[in-house]
Amino acid sequence: MQLSLLEQLDIKGHLTISKSFRDGREEIVFDDHNIIVSGMGVSLAHLFAVSGSDSILDYQIDRFQVGVGGGSAREVVSTYELSSPMSSLAEYGIDSYVLATSAHQIKNNSVVTTPVFYGIIPEQHITRTSENTVRYTIILDELACNNLTRSGSNAFLNEIGLFVKNIKGVSPQAPILVAYRYFGDIRKTENFSLVFRWSISF
């Protein structure tokens, strides 16, 4: 049986989520592996074949989405989008420190031009922790993603995805989902920050 590119490279990931309070306390609410999805293989194939963007910067994992539609049925390697990501820049927090942007998205290997919304991972929050492992630290501060609603009811954060910037080199940019994880419902409020520490080992 022929192995896929992802299987050959044996890329793995791990995600830890913590609530961080103003008094310095930190409470771990999730600690488990994540799912490396098919977009990672697509990204690497474009890079190795020199068939996409000619800028190495476009192959960086530098953005994320959080959403409110996660569930165990989403834990599949073919996932190419979150079930219900943030629906506006404002949901990432108008006054928060989260830098958010809109762009297109690659879904099922096609560029979908309906704008979607992403948080940007600051360069200083991307660190190499070993020869083969990079950690991405995502902070939803006290003013980010608070008191979300859908159809008039409370909505709970329960999914997150990492995205590669723009493998096709198109404008506007079209990120692609490369790692995904659902987690237990979290009702985000101004009482705490959420800190995601996501390690990817190549």
The residue ranking higher by pLDDT, 3 or 139, is 139
Torsion of CA 23, 198, 83, 143, to 10 degrees: 30
pTM of the shown model: 0.92
CA pair distance 143, 73, nearest whole angstrom: 30
Is the pLDDT score of 9 beyond 90?
no
Half-sphere exposure of 11 (CA within 13 A, CB side): 21
Residue ranges per structural domain of the chain: 34-201
pLDDT of residue 3: 44
